[in-house]
């Protein structure tokens, strides 16, 4: 029978103890991912724009789901580059780019935003446009008569429902009354509200306005 010396026994015990202790040591914690709302890229993207005709305040990205931030995404489509695609079911607008990419914008939709679909084109663009509510809206809300076309419309500004920019959609040279436009109510992006067409954050509609020439095709799904 082999007899263990006290030194051998203590050494072995220490070794086993070390293994046991090392087995209980937790792994280094993985740092939490910084929210995109705190990313300088998006803070800069949605910065205040004092250079605008009507200075725009900054947008707080934390009030908007990250998927609705302006971003380049993979997007497979048969639509040619330069086309606009509005997916009303997902609250996204895509500007189709080369090589299977697209610039994607989050949008909000009103009742009018669900009333029309099909193919058309951007026939007109306006920076800080006037707003003239259609007669159907005035019938529902008589107080809007003061902004009707008969009274010259609502002047541009931060309170104007069309926001900083508007892109007007025509089909067969006829105004569809369907618009892509800005909004100061950026918390409505990704939601359906009572009125309006397709609204983007003001900073996003300004970006889109610069990228989309008159005559660009648009498909509304």
Catalytic residues: 181, 197
**Helix, strand, coil fractions of the chain, as percent rounded to 5:** 30, 30, 45
Triad 55, 200, 217: Cα angle to 5°: 120
> 116-119 contacts: CB < 8 A, separation 24 or more?
116/176, 116/177, 116/178, 116/220, 117/88, 117/220, 117/221, 118/171, 118/219, 118/220, 119/171, 119/217, 119/218, 119/219
Q: If you compute the radius of gyration of the chain from its CA atoms, what whole number of angstroms results?
A: 28
Cα separation, 104 vs 74, in Å, equals 9
């Amino acid at each position: 029978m082999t007899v263990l010396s006290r030194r051998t026994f203590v050494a072995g015990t220490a070794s086993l103890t070390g293994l046991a202790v090392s087995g209980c040591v937790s792994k280094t914690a993985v740092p939490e991912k910084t929210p995109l709302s705190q990313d300088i890229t998006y803070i800069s993207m949605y910065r205040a724009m004092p250079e605008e005709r009507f200075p725009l305040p900054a947008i707080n990205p934390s009030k908007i789901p990250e998927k609705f931030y302006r971003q380049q995404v993979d997007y497979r489509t048969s639509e040619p580059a330069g086309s606009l695609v509005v997916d009303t079911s997902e609250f996204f607008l895509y500007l189709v780019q080369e090589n299977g990419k697209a610039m994607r914008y989050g949008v909000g939709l009103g009742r009018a935003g669900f009333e029309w679909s099909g193919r058309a084109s951007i026939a007109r663009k306006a920076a800080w446009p006037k707003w003239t509510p259609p007669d159907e809206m005035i019938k529902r809300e008589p107080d809007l008569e003061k902004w009707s076309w008969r009274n010259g419309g609502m002047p541009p500004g931060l309170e104007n429902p069309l926001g900083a920019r508007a892109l007007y959609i025509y089909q067969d040279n006829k105004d569809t009354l369907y618009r892509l436009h800005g909004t100061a109510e950026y918390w409505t992006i990704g939601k359906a509200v009572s009125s309006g067409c397709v609204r983007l954050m003001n900073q996003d509609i300004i970006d889109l306005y610069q990228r989309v020439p008159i005559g660009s095709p648009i498909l509304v799904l």
